[in-house]
Every structure is written in structure tokens, then in C-alpha cells.
Amino acid sequence: TTRQPREGEVPGVDYNFIGVGEFRDLEESGLLLESGTYDGNYYGTPKPPAEPSPVQPDLVDQVLFDEEFDTEVQRKRTTSVSKMDRKDSAAPEEEDEDEKTPAVNGLAGEKRPLLLL
């Protein structure tokens, strides 16, 4: 939003408070899902990233926080992910008949990834 923060609001938590020029840049770049004006101020909802890159910040962050953006710094994986034991990439073992997943929508025995939204 382009309005000033109200008492008790935390920038980056309640809203991203930015200037009109920055807002127009976001709007023109197509990074906003929706936008509008109310009481003389601009409001918008950023589009969610399709698939964030582990190396580069998303474009909304680059536009909003350009002065803090450093192209030499790469994001690091969290300790829990980077220190996990890596499994051998050998072919998976065959499942017993008892362990096969039940038929779902006519797709017996197929495992499907869980999609989290």
C-alpha cells in the first residue's frame, strides 16, 4: 500500500508500505494479482511465486527492497536440509502386495505426490 502506517502497524507484517512510484512499477510489471485505490491510496496483492528459486529473491522483493538486494549473496539452505543424509539413487525396492496404496480414482497402486497449497 502507498498509505502511511497507522499506529501499531508493523511494516512488512501488516502491509508493505511503499511509495507511489514503487507501487506503479509493481503494477506495470504484472506482479500484482489485484490492485485498486481507496481513499486516495493504492493497495495491491502480490502474485504468489510459481516456484521460488533457491538462489535469487523473487522479483517483488527486488522491486521493494532493491537497495538491500545484493547479487553476490546466494541464499543458503537451512541446516536441517543441507545436513540430511543423502540416499543412494538406486532403483526403488519392489513393494509387497500388502503395501500398495489403495485405488483412488481408478489409479490402483500408483503413488501420487502430496500437493500442499
Q: Which of 48, 42, 49 is nearest to 21 (CA)?
A: 42
Q: pLDDT category, 35, cuts 50, 70, 90?
A: very high
> Whole-model pTM?
0.43
Q: Give the model's pLDDT for residue 48.
A: 87
The answer to whether 2 touches 19, Cβ cutoff 8 Å, is: yes
Q: pLDDT category, 36, cuts 50, 70, 90?
A: very high
Q: Which amino acid is at 92?
A: P
**Please, where are the H alpha helices in 8-104?**
20-28, 59-64, 79-82
Q: What is the pLDDT of residues 61-91, one digit of tens each?
A: 666 655 555 555 555 555 554 445 544 445 5
Mean pLDDT of the chain: 72
